[in-house]
Structure 1
Amino acid sequence: MRSWLFVPGDSDRKADKAATCGADILIFDLEDSVAASQKELARKMVADRITDSGRDWSLWVRVNPLDGGLTLADLDAVVRPGLAGILLPKPEGGPDVSRLADAIASREAAAGIPAGTIRIAPVATETATALFTLGSYAPAHPRLAALTWGAEDLAADIGAATNRGDDGDFTAPYKLVRNLALFAAAAARVPAIDTLHADFRDVEGLECECRTSRRDGFIGRLAIHPAQVEVINRCYTPSEAEIIWAQRIVDAFAANPDAGALGLDGKMIDLPHLVAARKTLAAAGG
């Protein structure tokens, strides 16, 4: 779940390029990047790409918002074997995940897909109202795979001129939103995925944000261009030194199962360190 790359649903050229860029997840978009006149074509094009074999990345689809009257037609087209998940835009809390899950369930059954296969990740902060319901994602719905946040639609919703300052950093309101989304994911016990870095030419800025993001607890990031994928994958992959240290912590507690705290290389480690070490090893595929 390191790199989540958006791909316009109505562009075969961009889809072909994205499929070879190394992203962990491709999100075929039926929402903002597709004009209203192209929605039906995009559904067909995305549906034609959904297979259950022959790729080394997960295929997700961003459907249209639940209150827009297009979501069910999106699901009719894309719920088929090979679809890993649905990215839900503009939800207003956990009940919207349940609504979407119910709509997916009937289509899974019709398609012969085992119940619960298709997961859901909400973009949980795209409206002002949604900020006041972030706690409703916990306890997590069984289909909830991750939680991410968005700054672009939120800026439009509140009438902001921009969401970044002259230094390129998010302004104070959006830093608050980011932090709340991180805590909401933790409360729901699902991975937190950071939002996109809109300037895909700003490689240095992206890398800086990714390193800060991973430090704070995010495990991956949205991307809007294949050029961002390498930086994201590298920044959210634990280093060899981190892996070795995490394994030593796990091994130390395994050798002392009754210990609440231990000394390791002159440092005191306890249960929070063990939890963090296990997360590091999981991120490294261990």
Structure 2
Amino acid sequence: MRSQLYVPGNNEKMIRKSTQLPADSVVLDLEDAVPNVEKAKARDLLSSLFSELDWGKRRVCVRVNPTYTLHYYDDVKWVVSQDKVTCLLVPEAEDGLSSLHRATGKDVEPLIETARGLLKVQDIVREEGVFAVSFGSADLALSMNGDPSVLGTNQYIRTAVVAAARAYGVEPLDRVFFDLRDLSGFESECKSAKSMGYSGKQVIHPVQVDVANKVFSPTEEEVRWAKKVVDIYESRSREGKGALRIDDRLVDAVHYRMAKRILDSLGG
């Protein structure tokens, strides 16, 4: 998932529009985007729209309410019968994800948004049904009595999340970037996240989707390099050569695996 777009679960116009946007994943939000008095109406609206809308190959997710709220239980009971929903985003995740997966049959994406969740991130991503993970800088700042702008770019936090994800085969998605006017800043943060190992970015506006998709896709230069490395390495390895010199750079088995990963990401 290069881009995962949040859409308010009570906004019919935006929900309909999300079926046409190039986001790899759409998150129909029942949490922060929906006032408490609108929660039930939002579920009813989504139920009616699911019967007519088609998101194609986009992964359709729902962000449920925090587990300590009554709305959470209403969300879980409702989502079990929604076949178009394949995954659940769990805010302020700390535990209980395996039970949620088994009860609903849906994949689970925890959001690391509390100090306790951050300290438990390795345990969280290892729970049954977890396929991706992200973190929320605003809620995390609230939990830690810190500054969202500082914690959102904190290298320890970003490294802890991506390292846990990669260690246990879970897809890491970088946090939301809130300044919709600053597309250059958004692009810069996407590039930074990609260089750290994140596979995509959570986004909150359609204008951010194309930028995220572009940054988290291999560049033409990367693809050319990957094809060259794979071709030459495989040819030379048959001759018994492991470490090679390609364009004045040392290339060995780890570079070959990196090149293969780039080509595999193109889908053949």
The TM-score with structure 1 as length reference comes to 0.84
Q: Give distance in 1, aligned partners of 2:125 and 2:8.
A: 31
User: Could you tell me which residue of structure 1 aligns to residue 115 of structure 2?
Assistant: 128
Residue equivalent to 2:138? 152
Q: Which residue of 1 aligns with 2:219?
A: 239
Match of 1:115 in 2: none
Tell me if 1:81 matches 2:83.
yes
| Residue matched to 1:119 | 107
Tell me if structure 2 keeps the 8 A contact 1:243–1:284.
Answer: no
1:11-35 CA deviation, whole Å, 9 max, x = no partner?
1012123332211111000111111
Whole-angstrom distance in 1 between the partners of 2:7 and 2:227: 37
1:251 aligned partner: 231
Give the Cα separation in 2 of the matches to 1:27 and 1:103.
Answer: 20
Q: What secondary structure sits across from 1:34 in the alignment?
A: coil
Structure 1 residue 226: Cα displacement: 1.0
Structure-2 residue corresponding to 1:279 = 261
Equivalent residue number for residue 210 of structure 2: 230
Asked if structure 2 preserves the Cα contact closer than 8 Å seen for 1:137 and 1:188, the reply is no
Query: d(CA) in 1 for partners of 2:55 and 2:162?
Result: 34
Q: Any residues of structure 2 matched to 1:12-161 within 5 Å, and which?
A: 12-50=12-50, 53=54, 55-79=56-80, 80-92=82-94, 95-105=95-105, 118-123=106-111, 125-137=112-124, 139=126, 141=128, 143-160=129-146
Aligned counterpart for 2:192 among listed residues 197, 207, 212: 212
SS in 1 for 2:96: helix
Is 1:44–1:77's contact at 8 Å kept on the other side of the alignment? no
Q: Which amino acid aligns with 1:4?
A: Q
The 1:60/1:173 distance shift into structure 2, 3 A limit, reads closer
**Structure 2 segments unaligned to the other structure (5+ residues):** none
- 8 Å contact 2:98–2:127 — kept in the other structure? no
Aligned length: 264
Conserved 8 A contact 1:138-1:187: no
1:140–1:189 CA contact under 8 A, matched in 2: no
Higher mean Cα deviation, 127-136 or 80-89? 80-89
- Whole-angstrom CA distance in 2 between matches of 1:101 and 1:242: 37
Shift of 1:171: 5.0
- TM-score (norm: length of structure 2): 0.89
Q: CA RMSD in A?
A: 2.2
Q: What is the CA–CA distance in structure 1 between the aligned matches of 2:28 and 2:125, rounded to whole Å?
A: 27
Residues of 2 paired with 1:259 and 1:97: CA distance? 47
CA contact (8 A) 2:10 2:42 kept: yes
Structure 1 unaligned spans of 5+: 106-117, 165-169
Could you say what secondary structure the match of 1:222 adopts?
A: strand
Q: Distance in 2 between matches of 1:261 and 1:187?
A: 26
Structure 1: how far apart are the matches of 2:125 and 2:134?
Answer: 14
* CA deviation string 1:56-90 (max 9, x = no partner): 42211111122223333212322322222111111
Cα offset for 1:129?
0.7
The percentage of counterpart residues that share the same residue type is: 31
More off after superposition, 219-228 vs 275-284? 275-284
Distance 2:126 2:43 in 1: 32
User: Does the 8 Å CA contact 1:163/1:174 hold for their aligned counterparts?
Assistant: no
